[in-house]
Amino acid sequence: MKKYIGKSVVKGIAVGRIYWYKKQNYEAVKTEVLDTEAERERFESAVETAKKQLTVLYEDALDRLGEEHAMIFEIHKMMLEDEDYLDAVKNVINEGLNGEYAVSVAEEQFAEMFASMDDEYMKARAADIRDISKRVINILAGIGEDGIHTDEPVIVVAEDLTPSETVKMDKEKILAFVTVKGSSNSHTAILARSMNLPSLVNTKMELKEEMNGKVAVVDGFNGEFIVEPEEDILQEMISRKNQWIADLKGLEQLKGKENVTSDGRKINLYANIGSVNDVDAALEADAGGIGLFRSEFLYLGRNDYPSEEEQFESYKTVLEKMNGKKVIIRTLDIGADKKVDYFKLEPEENPAMGYRAIRICLDRPEIFITQLRAIYRASAYGTAAIMFPMIVSVNEIIRIKEIVGQVKEKLLAEGFRMGEVELGIMVETPAAAVISDELAKEVDFFSIGTNDLTQYTLAVDRQNQKLESTCDTHHPAVLRLIEMTVANGHKEGIWVGICGELAADTELTHTFLDMGVDELSVSAANVLKVRKAIRDI
Ligand code: PEP
Ligand code: MG
C-alpha cells in the first residue's frame, strides 16, 4: 500500500482501478532488448490491436459519415498488413532494438519513399504511414488514443491534464481524477467539478508504469490517493463512500424547495455548464437556470472552428432543455490555459494577461459575429442572455453593442426570429470592479468571475500550484471588490451575480447574501449544497 497526498478540488470518494493517461506527443526512444522474439511478438500484438481500433473507427465513421469518409480506415488496416512494412520493422527489432524505435525507423523509411514519388496520390500516402506508425507506437508505449479507452470506469491518473484533453474524455468511464500538477482554480479542476468526480491535483507522487491497473482509492475529503490499500482500509473507504452517496441522496429532499433564508431573503441559484451534456446534471440538481455557459468549451478538442450552424444547435438544445429558464451564454473565452491550435495564437510571456477572450473577439470580429449570430438565432427557443468575459473598459462594451446591433439587424433582414436577450458582463478584472459604477450604466447585469478577479487582484497565477497555499480566496481585497460591484450595480438598477468558484463556498454564503448578491451560479454538483446553506441562514 502507498499513500500520496494531493490537493482536493472535488470532494467525494472513489474506489477503482488506475488508468494512467499519458500525453500524446510521445517520441520513440531507442533502447536495447534482450529477447528479440518476445519483442517481435509484442509488435505483432500491437499491430493486431491497431487493426481492431481501425475496424471500430471504420464502423463508426460508416454510420456517422458514410463509406467515402470511412474508407481511409480500411486503407490504414491494409497498410498494416503490408509485408514490406512489417518486415522493415521486424528487421530493426532483430538487431536487438525495441519495437517503438523499430516502428519509427520504418515510418521514416516508408514516409520518405512515398513522399518522393511523382504520383500525387502516392505522395499523400506518406501521411498515412505516419498515422499508422503513430498508432502502433502509442499502443506499444501504452498510450491510449485521444480520450481514454477502457471497459470499466477508472481512476484517471496523469501528470497534468489540459481542458482539451479533459473534455474529450467519456465521463461515464471516469471515477476520479488524480494529477501530479494542476491547481484548484484551473479549468481542468473546474471541469472535474462539473463532472462531480472526486479529484486531486498537485499530488506528490512519481507516476510509474506499474501503477496502471492497480486498485486505488481517491479520498477527495482528505486529499489522499491510496494505491493498493490494505483490506481493512479498502473496506473502510467503501463504507465511507457509501455514506457519502447517502449524504448526497439526503440533499435531494431539497429539490423543488426555494433558495430562501429563514428571514425570507430569496436568491437565484443557477448552474455553470461547459457543454450541452452538462444540462441534464443542472436540471437534475434543480438549478433555476444556467448562470454561466462556458461556450469556449465548444471550441476545444477539435480541429476547426465550430460553424454557426453547429453552435446554433448547441445553444438551441440548451435553451430548449432549460424550458424557459434563463441561460446565460458567455461568449468565447479562449486563451490563457484554454488553448486551441486552429486559432493560431502566438506563444505569449503572460497568456493570462494576454490576447484572450473579448480581446480576440473584438480583434477578429468574424469569429465573434459567427457566435453572436448562433446565439441570437437560438434565442427564439428560450430565455437567453449573453455575457462578455475579461471586460476592462466602457469602450469595449460600446464596441460590443455596435457589433451586436449589426448582427441583430442582419438576422432580422434575413427573416430570423429572436427572443429578448439581456446583455451583461463578467466582472473579473479589478478594472471592471473599480469602474463598475460606469459599466453598470451600459449593461443589464453583472456576473462576478471570482476566479480571475482573485488571480488579478492578488497577483496570484491561478494555474500555479506553488501558490495554492498563499492564495487566500477570502482575501478582504477581493471581498471588497465584490461588495463594491454589487452596490454599484444596484445603484443603476441591474442585478449582480457571482459565477466564479467562490459562489459555491458555503462559508461565504451568508456574506454574499448580506452584500445583496442576487444570484449564485455554481457547478451542478454544488447546487443543493448551496441551497442548504442558504436555507440554514
Ligand atoms: C472566473 O474567472 O471566475 C470565471 C467564472 O471564468 P473562468 O473560470 O472560465 O475564467
Ligand atoms: Mg474568468
By most ligand atoms within 8 Å of CB, the mutation choice from 461, 499, 519 for ligand 1 is 499
Task: Report whether 214 contacts 17 (CB < 8 A).
Answer: yes
So what's the pLDDT on residue 164?
62
**Would the pLDDT of 233 be above 70?**
yes
**Would the pLDDT of 166 be above 80?**
no
210-213 contacts at long range (C-beta below 8 A, 24 or more positions apart): 211/18, 211/20, 211/157, 212/18, 212/19, 212/20, 212/142, 213/17, 213/18, 213/19
Lowest mean pLDDT among 55-59, 99-103, 513-517: 55-59
**Would the pLDDT of 236 be above 90?**
yes
Ligand nearest to the CA of 453: 1
CA contacts within 13 A on the Cβ side of 404:
20
So what's the pLDDT on residue 70?
72
Query: Ligand 1 atom 1: the closest Cα is on which residue?
Result: 449
C-alpha cell at 525: 454538483
Count of C-beta atoms within a 10 Å radius of residue 16: 17
By most ligand atoms within 8 Å of CB, the mutation choice from 333, 358, 519 for ligand 1 is 333
Task: Report whether 353 contacts 430 (CB < 8 A).
Answer: no
So what's the pLDDT on residue 115?
83
Ligand nearest to the CA of 330: 1
Alpha-carbon distance 271 to 292, whole Å?
7
- The sign of the torsion formed by the CA atoms of 406, 409, 412, 418 equals positive
SS3 523: strand
Helix, strand counts (H, E) of the chain: 19, 16
Task: Report whether 424 contacts 447 (CB < 8 A).
Answer: yes
Interval between CA 294 and ligand 2 midpoint (Å): 10
Q: Which helix (H) or strand (E) holds 289?
A: none
User: Residues 45-76: pLDDT tens digits?
Assistant: 999 999 998 888 788 667 756 676 678 788 88
Index of the ligand 1 atom closest to the CA of residue 272: 5
Interval between CA 386 and ligand 2 midpoint (Å): 15
Strands (DSSP E) along 108-202, which ranges? 154-158, 174-179, 199-201
Lowest mean pLDDT among 8-12, 349-353, 392-396, 465-469: 465-469
**Mean of the per-residue pLDDT values of the chain:** 92
Alpha-carbon distance 188 to 185, whole Å?
8
Interval between CA 171 and ligand 2 midpoint (Å): 24
So what's the pLDDT on residue 75?
87
Query: Ligand 1 atom 6: the closest Cα is on which residue?
Result: 449
φ, ψ for residue 290, nearest 5 deg: -110, 115
SS3 511: helix
Interval between CA 242 and ligand 1 midpoint (Å): 32
Index of the ligand 1 atom closest to the CA of residue 292: 5
Query: Ligand 1 atom 4: the closest Cα is on which residue?
Result: 449
Query: What are the b/e assignments for 158-185, b being 16+ CB within 10 Å?
Result: bebbbbbbbbebebebbbbbbbbbbbbb
Could you tell me which of 475, 483, 437 has the C-alpha nearest to residue 459? 475
Mutual angle of helices 527-535 and 231-251, in 10-degree steps: 60
Catalytic residue among 69, 474, 499, 510: 499
User: Residues 240-273: pLDDT tens digits?
Assistant: 999 999 988 999 999 999 999 999 999 999 999 9
Active site residue 187: yes
So what's the pLDDT on residue 533?
97
Which residues does 115 contact at the CB level (< 8 Å), separation at least 6?
123, 126
Region 197-214: mean pLDDT is 91
Cα separation values, 82 from 50, 90, 108, 224, 281, Å:
14, 12, 16, 49, 48
**Would the pLDDT of 165 be above 80?**
no
So what's the pLDDT on residue 188?
74
The domain locations on the chain are: 2-22+147-250, 36-140, 265-535
Cα angle, residue 43 at apex, residues 37 and 44 outer, rounded to 5°:
90
Count of C-beta atoms within a 10 Å radius of residue 388: 23
SS3 332: coil
Higher pLDDT, 160 or 292: 292
Interval between CA 304 and ligand 2 midpoint (Å): 23
So what's the pLDDT on residue 69?
63
User: Residues 316-332: pLDDT tens digits?
Assistant: 999 999 999 999 999 99
Higher pLDDT, 253 or 338: 253
Region 165-192: mean pLDDT is 82
Cβ 450 under 6 angstroms from ligand 1? yes
Alpha-carbon distance 112 to 118, whole Å?
12
Cβ 286 under 6 angstroms from ligand 1? no
Please name the fold of domain 2-22+147-250.
Glucose Oxidase; domain 1 (3.50.30)
Interval between CA 313 and ligand 1 midpoint (Å): 24
Q: Can you name the residues that pair with 290 across neighbouring β-strands?
A: 271, 327
Task: Report whether 190 contacts 169 (CB < 8 A).
Answer: no
Alpha-carbon distance 254 to 286, whole Å?
9
Region 376-393: mean pLDDT is 98
φ, ψ for residue 204, nearest 5 deg: -80, 95
Could you tell me which of 536, 535, 500, 537 has the C-alpha nearest to residue 520? 500
Higher pLDDT, 69 or 89: 89
Cβ 428 under 6 angstroms from ligand 1? yes
Task: Report whether 468 contacts 183 (CB < 8 A).
Answer: yes
Query: Ligand 1 atom 10: the closest Cα is on which residue?
Result: 452
Task: Report whether 500 contacts 452 (CB < 8 A).
Answer: yes
Task: Report whether 282 contacts 271 (CB < 8 A).
Answer: yes
Residues, Cβ < 5 Å to ion ligand 2: 428, 449, 452
Cβ 338 under 6 angstroms from ligand 1? no
- The sign of the torsion formed by the CA atoms of 482, 488, 491, 496 equals negative
Please name the fold of domain 36-140.
Enzyme I; Chain A, domain 2 (1.10.274)
Strand order across the 154-158 sheet:
2-5, 224-227, 215-219, 13-20, 154-158, 174-179, 199-201, 7-10
So what's the pLDDT on residue 64?
58
**Would the pLDDT of 537 be above 70?**
yes
Alpha-carbon distance 100 to 333, whole Å?
39
So what's the pLDDT on residue 219?
96
Could you tell me which of 492, 516, 522 has the C-alpha nearest to residue 266? 516
**Would the pLDDT of 391 be above 70?**
yes
Confidence of residue 146 (pLDDT cuts 50, 70, 90): low
By most ligand atoms within 8 Å of CB, the mutation choice from 166, 185, 272, 294 for ligand 1 is 294
Please name the fold of domain 265-535.
TIM Barrel (3.20.20)
So what's the pLDDT on residue 336?
82
